[in-house]
Structure 1
Amino acid sequence: MHLPAQVLSDAVAADATRPALTYYDDNPDGTGERIEISRRVLRTWVAKAANALQEGLDVQPGSVVLVDLPAPHWRLAYWALAVWSVGATLTVDTHEGADVLVTTDPDSELAEDCDEVVAVALPALSRHFGAELRSGVMDEAAELSSYADDFVAWDEVDPQDTALVTFGSRVTYADLLEGLAPLPTGGRSLVTTRDRGTFVRVVLQMLATDGSAVLVDGPLPADDDPRLTAEGVTFRAVPDAGGPG
């Protein structure tokens, strides 16, 4: 059984420069940006976020981190992998109590119930959150770069600990890759699901099968969308673009 941190490490060792995630923002009110992240760069984002959680926010096994970011966004992917690198519990259920909240809305009611809050600006080139933050809220865009590019967990992950809470269900670390629809080994998969729990598991599965993903955030792309050919997409993973955000 491979834990998430080992899955990412193995993917980087196999081919560090291969794209892991290619993200398109097709939302009508979005940026229209295309972002490509190699496996090495993804590992760096994960390491910085994991160090921020472990060193800056005192997250450890047993801690619960609510990542309230949209799927299928690339920032949700690295924050999920960061939580799992520390060995904590990731929840994407907004009604679930949490020690830390990672969110685009640091002034929401959710933030009032969390001990620590990380404010995330979604655009790739953001250098600060873009609005005044109350004291104690971490500005991811301004502060994450100060954390190290490598991560070493202070505690070992227990495979029977809860890794993910989604729709009230609890998934252990041992079962994160179980019960999922198969992905082609080495394939380039289109991912459009807005179900955050499904999304984070599919990203992990994609890394575990030596694959890569094209994330389209917005309307479901047509079969003849020329970008799918240009990106080398060979498979549609979780084709339903609907579901909870």
Structure 2
Amino acid sequence: MHTPADMLAALLADDATRPALTYYDDAPGPCAGERIELSRKVLGTWVAKAANALQEGFDVHPGSVVRLDLPAPHWRLTYWALAVWAVGATVTLDAHEGADVLVTSEPESPDADDADEVIAVALPALARSFGADLRSGVMDEAREIASYGDDFTAWDEPEPTDPALVAGGRRTTYRELLADSAGTTGRVLVTATDPSTALRQILHVWSTLGSVVLVRGGEPQPDDERMRSEGVDRSAPHVSREEGAD
């Protein structure tokens, strides 16, 4: 079984200094105009810190469910998904799903009020705190994530039939998540606003050691100089394989 953790290890072994992702925020709001680039090594560090927070701080393990309520496409959604898969737990994108931990950029939402364990994620790249008062027990990712280790070792491994992703009521197992390894290499543009689609497209590219350029806020124009300077080869293909419903 080839897992996202194996995929990330392969990216690091190939060349840890190459860009894993570049992110442009074209959406209206406080993050408009941001450009973030993460090398494979830096991505691995973010994943390790988030995974350590889940495992050590929230006892997340195979069988646990973590709901990700973060925008797509977004670099923070990406490393949190990889972190959940690193500990062998289930990523759910469905609002109605019961979850052990909620990772959200909106900790004041009704869904957050109903969650026992909440991680508040500030979207701005340079945020050092969430920037608002948080209720007791809510983890401020921007303030606390740095205290966790840069290396990660899972306490347990998922079974091939364990659910890795729940979206739209469908479950994709760990065995199925990366079963289609015929990904798209090079520098690939991802603009999908559906989190499941964005995550699948990113995994599709990384499975063959490619690199992604994420643009939030719409499809760039054909003459967008940024895409030429980034060396974008193509847009992400539609990932047609449906999630398996166990």
Please classify the TM superposition score into its range, dividing by the shorter chain length.
over 0.9
2:156 counterpart of 1:155: yes
**Retained in 2: the 8 A contact 1:192–1:238?**
no
Taking a change above 3 Å as real, the CA distance of residues 239 and 169 of structure 1, as seen in their structure-2 partners, is closer
- Label 1:239 to 1:26 Cα distance change in 2 as closer, same or farther (>3 A): farther
3-state SS, counterpart of residue 10 of structure 1: helix
CA distance in 1, matches of 2:111, 2:91: 15
Mapping of 1:79-228 within 5 angstroms?
79-178=80-179, 183-185=183-185, 187-228=186-227
**TM-score normalised according to structure 1 size:** 0.93
Q: Structure 2 vs 1, CA of residues 235 and 183 (structure 1 numbering), >3 Å: closer, same or farther?
A: farther
Percent of aligned pairs with the same amino acid: 64
What TM-score, normalized to structure 2?
0.93
Tell me the alpha carbon deviations over residues 56-115 of structure 1, each in whole angstroms, 9 at most, x when there is no partner: 011111110001000000000000000000000000111211110000111211113322
Please name the residue that 1:243 is paired with.
none
Q: Deviations over 1:124-155 (max 9, x none)?
A: 10000000111100000000000000000000
Unaligned runs of 5+ in 1: 241-245
- Report the RMSD for the aligned CA atoms in angstroms: 1.5
CA–CA distance in structure 2, aligned partners of residues 114 and 28 of structure 1? 28
3-state DSSP of counterpart to 2:134: coil
8 A Cα contact 1:183 1:237, kept in partner: no
Residues 16-56 of structure 1: per-residue CA shift (max 9 Å, x gap): 00000100000122431100000000000000000000000
Q: Equivalent residue for 2:66?
A: 65
Secondary structure of 1:76's counterpart equals helix
- Any idea what SS the aligned residue of 2:50 has? helix
Is the deviation greater in 198-207 or in 122-131?
198-207
Task: Give the secondary-structure state (helix, strand or coil) at the position aligned to 2:24.
Answer: strand
Q: Counterparts of 1:238 and 1:169 in 2: how far apart (Å)?
A: 21
* Structure 2 unmatched runs, 5+: 240-246
Partner of 1:10: 10
Q: Distance in 1 between matches of 2:222 and 2:77?
A: 26
Contact 1:62 1:88 survives alignment (8 Å): yes
Q: How far has the Cα of 1:238 moved from its partner?
A: 4.5
Alignment partners' CA distance in 1, 2:167 and 2:184: 25
Amino acid of the structure 1 residue aligned with 2:117: E
Letter paired with 1:201: R
Look up the match of 2:229. Answer: 230
Q: Which runs of 4 or more aligned residues in structure 1 lie more than 6 Å from their structure 2 counterparts after TM superposition?
A: none
- C-alpha distance in 1, partners of 2:86/2:16? 18
Residue 124 and residue 239 in structure 1: after superposition, are their counterparts in 2 closer, same or farther (change >3 A)? farther
Q: How much has 1:179 moved relative to structure 2?
A: 5.7
CA distance in 2 between partners of 1:173 and 1:201 (Å): 13
